[in-house]
Amino acid sequence: MGFLAPHTEKIYALFRIMTGLLFAQHGFQKVLGWFGGIPAGMMPDALRYSAGSIELLGGVLVAIGLLTGPAAFISSGTMMVAFFLGHVSRDPNHSLIPLVNNGDLAVIFCWAFFLIAAKGAGIWSVDAARGEK
């Protein structure tokens, strides 16, 4: 079925860019109050601003493909922490099932960023323009 095989690098670049932009939106929401902001009392301010800063900066760096590996790795770890602290621990039954504890987005972001950290920026990135692999 490899009809998309010739486009793999372009598809991966679009995946990296869109994942970064979607992640950055969560940072804009937490840090700047955009897109409706975060309701008061939903999370402590220190956590909101630290996680939001990682989401904002990490998302932008991954989207433009600058320092992609480290930014994606830190973003992946942040989402792992978010899953356990923000979803498993807050679920009344401490369920590890993402569908039950509403942590599916954190899990998807965690694994997407882990893939990006392993693969690197690819084409259409600042890292590629700088000659980094």
Helix axes 8-27, 45-64, angle to 10 degrees: 160
Is the pTM above the cut of 0.75? Answer: yes
Q: Is the separation of the CB atoms in 87 and 103 below 8 Å?
A: yes
What's the pLDDT score for residue 38?
82
pLDDT 10s digits, 1-13: 689 999 999 999 9
129 DSSP 8-state letter: H
Quote the tokens at residue 74: 């830190």
At 91, the pLDDT band (50, 70, 90 cuts) reads: confident
- Model pLDDT, residue 40: 73
What value does the mean pLDDT of the chain take? 94
Extents of the domains making up the chain? 9-129
* Interval 95-117 mean pLDDT: 96
- Rg of the Cα atoms in the chain: 16
- Which carries the bigger pLDDT value, residue 18 or residue 90? 18
Tell me the per-residue pLDDT of 16-57, one tens digit each, with 9 for 90 and over.
999 999 999 999 999 998 988 887 777 888 888 999 999 999
Which has the closest alpha carbon to 61: 74, 77, 79, 50? 74
User: Residue 44: helix, strand or coil by DSSP?
Assistant: coil
CA 2 to chain centre: 28
Measured CA to CA, the distance from residue 78 to residue 36 in angstroms comes to 22
Residue that is written with structure tokens 């940072």 in the block:
27
Report whether pLDDT(133) > 80. no
